[in-house]
Amino acid sequence: MLEIIRANVTVMVSDLDRAIEFYTERLGLKLVRRYNNHWADIEGPGITIGLHPTRKIINPGDNMQIGIRVADVQHAQSLLQNSGIKFNATADQVRMVHFNDPDGNTLYLIQT
């Protein structure tokens, strides 16, 4: 059987500094390592996000999604709105709101 040591989500970004600021300063995740302008490891509870700059055209909203489970969606949404993040709410069986990083990648807060 394959032994997985670690896993991560890779997010292709157009501006590494801007992406690091978003994921650390706005979302409160931790910058663990940065390899010049080639890669950055961002960590939070149960997730590692690899930020990788690309020169290719990024298609906003068509790259991937990152889910962030929270205890209270309304409270978390309010905190992030105060930092300038805009949300798209959905009607679903769980409380969920979607938002985007600076490159249009979709993230969501979920309360089950």
CATH of 9-111, one of 3.40.50.720, 3.20.10.10, 2.60.40.1220, 3.10.180.10: 3.10.180.10
Give the highest mean pLDDT range of 29-33, 75-79, 81-85, 97-101. 29-33
User: In this model, does residue 59 exceed pLDDT 80?
Assistant: no
Query: Residue 53, SS3?
Result: strand
Q: What is the mean pLDDT of residues 45-71?
A: 77
Q: Cβ(67)–Cβ(57) under 8 Å? A: no
Mean pLDDT, the chain, whole residue set: 83
Total-model pTM: 0.74
Query: For residue 105, with 0-12 CB atoms within 10 Å meaning exposed, 13-18 middle and 19 or more buried, which class applies?
Result: buried
- Domain residue spans of the chain: 9-111
Higher pLDDT among residues 18 and 11, named by residue: 18
Quick one: which of 13, 22, 4, 16 has its CA closest to 83? 22
pLDDT band at 57 (very low <50, low <70, confident <90, very high): low
